[in-house]
Amino acid sequence: MIADEIASKTGRWYSSELRPIVRELLGLGPGPQEYQETSTTQEELQYSNTFDVSVIEGQMKYLEPLAGKIPIYPWIWLYNHDLELVGEKIKALRQHGFDGYFLWA
């Protein structure tokens, strides 16, 4: 949504050019090859495949200084009934020693 907003306001770039830059700035990993639009806007998300295990890895540089000092409970999402991907996310969170997680399904 950030890339879309910048592209629409400036007219200088396409959203597809800005998405990788925004993801890098926010530590969100490389992102998907092709973005899949959500079938519903109830969650105010535009795409359903933007969060994978690489996001957890990318965010660790921000979270590691807090580990062990405060409880950290990240949010993870279940999209398109993809239980395998949710399992990968949970495994990655456990490997990094998170105190638990919230699951949005």
Domain ranges of the chain: 50-104
pLDDT(7) > 90: yes
**CB of 71 within 8 A of CB of 93?**
no
- pLDDT band of residue 99 (cuts 50, 70, 90) is confident
pLDDT value at position 57? 87
44 or 7, which is more confident: 7
Instruction: Please report, in angstroms and rounded to a whole number, the separation of the first and last CA atoms in the chain.
Output: 21
pLDDT value at position 38? 80
Predicted TM-score (pTM) of the model is: 0.73
